[in-house]
Structure 1
Amino acid sequence: MSQSDAARWEARYQAGTAAYAAQPSAFVLDWLPRLPRGRALDVACGLGATAIALAEAGFDVTAVDIAPTALARARTEAERRGVTVDWQCADLSDLRLPPAQYDLIVNIHYVNRDLTAQFAEALRPGGHVLFEQHLRWPTPVDGPGSDHFRLRPGELRHLLWQLDILHYAEGPFDGRDGERLALARAVGLKHH
């Protein structure tokens, strides 16, 4: 991610225009009861709502984002709710994940194909990936205006090729506030 991307996200969080990030991912919340607890990584965590939900569910969470303002707000909210998260400010385009460190990796609404390619190696055997991203769609939908920030149909399955796919869905979904979203969602499992 370039410095201009970092500045753009920082400005969005400072201006409060990323309010959608203040709620945990419904997709993650739906899958949480089915997942074994352990060490979790939330990439591009934004305001930390999903990372906090993971911590409240019993995970040992590391959450990474490029925007210091978002992380400061996330840290304050985690403290208010009495949970501990390891908040890390980093440029995800430069991030190198350590091998076999995580039982869960969560990637919600962030596209970085090089980082995604590291997920299988970064998982411990039996670990899961929960991935949700905007999808290119033939009719108007809410979300990113640029196809650069959307996956092509079928691309997510290809990105997670090293994992067993337990769940895969693509298509239109209703957003929390009535938006019409086109999303790709997948749950991947690393072999034991």
Structure 2
Amino acid sequence: MTETQISDREFWDARYRESERIWSGEPNAALVREVTGLTPGRALDVGCGEGGDAIWLARQGWQVTAVDVSRVALDRAAGHAADAGVADRIDWQRHTLGETFPEGTFDLVSSHFLHTLGELPREEVLRTAAGAVAPGGTLLIVGHSGMPPWETDAHPDVHLPGPEEVLADLRLAEGEWEVLVCAEHERHQIAPDGQPAVRTDNTVKARRL
């Protein structure tokens, strides 16, 4: 394990310790939009945070493996799952992605906002995630298209790709996948100054043939 990756774990543990809840607890809207109607099976949530997506999937009948680098986040998520009555449907696993990855294949592999200020090999991790999709299964990747409008000069070394770049970086084998969605969408949120803002995100969704 490298020093940078240890720092990533420490960074995210410290980030989650800042508050009893960092995220809303609700599932990402893109997940609900793209997964509703799929037949529940085995799902993998890559970068699950406090568990909002994993818990929603479990409530829909999925058997979920949920992965994050932060033990603080995973422990918190497990508590939320117990409160929601779906603890028996979710396997919480701590992984330093890029080093280790859950075993097996899944009917749905979902990754939402897998971004960090550290040295996460995001493209490599997402290619590994694609490899974990079972035949007939679905890959769903949602991320930010560029920095938010209130941080135009912040973190110049952080690259947030658009959907076409995400799709190209996946290197999906020709003839083995059907690309269902490759597009940007806007999301309304409140900026740190309390004012409403619009963030541009992107979705890549593909089905393994």
TM category, shorter: 0.7 to 0.9
Q: Which runs of 5+ in 2 are unaligned?
A: 116-121, 191-195
Report the counterpart of residue 109 of structure 1 in structure 2. Answer: 113
Assess if the C-alpha contact under 8 Å between 2:45 and 2:109 holds in 1.
yes
CA distance in 2, matches of 1:96, 1:159: 19
Higher gyration radius (CA): 2
User: Which residues in structure 2 correspond to 1:146-157 (within 5 Å)?
Assistant: 146=155, 148-152=158-162, 154-157=164-167
Matched to 1:10, the amino acid is: D
| DSSP 3-state at the match of 1:133 | strand
Between 1:150-159 and 1:38-47, the stretch displaced more is 150-159
CA contact (8 A) 2:163 2:203 kept: no
> Is the alpha carbon distance of 1:105 and 1:182 closer, same or farther for their aligned partners in structure 2, counting shifts above 3 Å?
same
Amino acid at match of 2:149: P
Aligned equivalent of 2:98? 93
Q: Distance in 2 between matches of 1:135 and 1:76?
A: 32
Distance in 2 between residues matched to 1:38 and 1:144, nearest whole Å:
43
**How far off its partner does 1:92 sit?**
1.2
Change in Cα spacing, 1:164 to 1:97, as seen in structure 2 (3 Å) is farther
String of CA shifts for 1:141-163, please: whole Å, max 9, x gaps: 66994352511462112134423
Instruction: Report SS of the residue matched to 2:7.
Output: helix
Aligned counterpart in structure 1 of residue 73 of structure 2, from 70, 74, 78 = 70
The residue type paired with residue 93 of structure 1 is: G
Number of positions where the alignment pairs a residue of Structure 1 with one of Structure 2: 188
Task: From the superposition, tell whether residues 143 and 71 of structure 1 become closer, same or farther in structure 2 (CA, over 3 Å).
Answer: farther
CA 1:96–1:77: 2 relative to 1, 3 Å = closer
TM-score normalised per structure 2? 0.80
Aligned partner (choices 167, 181, 184) of residue 170 of structure 1: 184
Map residues 2-151 of structure 1 onto 2, 5 A cutoff: 2-16=5-19, 19-20=22-23, 22-83=25-86, 84=88, 85-98=90-103, 101-111=105-115, 112-136=122-146, 140=149, 145-146=154-155, 148-151=158-161
| Greater alpha carbon shift after TM alignment, 70-79 vs 1-10 | 1-10
Normalization by structure 1: what TM-score? 0.87
Distance 1:77 1:96, change over 3 A: closer
- The CA distance in 2 between the partners of 1:58 and 1:142, in whole Å, is 39
Q: Secondary structure at the match of 2:44?
A: strand
Tell me, what secondary structure is at the counterpart of 2:167? helix
User: In angstroms, what is the RMSD of aligned CA positions?
Assistant: 2.5
Instruction: Give CA deviations for 1:91-115 in whole Å, capped at 9, x if unaligned.
Output: 112124545x100011000041111
Deviation at 1:35, TM superposition (A): 1.4
Instruction: Tell me, in whole angstroms, the C-alpha distance in 1 between the residues paired with 2:189 and 2:29.
Output: 9
Identity of aligned pairs, percent?
Answer: 30
- Which whole-Å deviations, capped at 9, do the CAs of 1:35-79 have from their partners, x for residues lacking one? 121100001100000000010011110000011111111001100
- Where in structure 1 are there 5+ consecutive unaligned residues? none
Task: Name the SS for the 1:20 alignment partner.
Answer: coil
Summarize the Cα distance change of 1:153–1:143 in structure 2 as closer, same or farther, 3 Å threshold: farther
Q: Distance in 2 between matches of 1:190 and 1:40?
A: 14
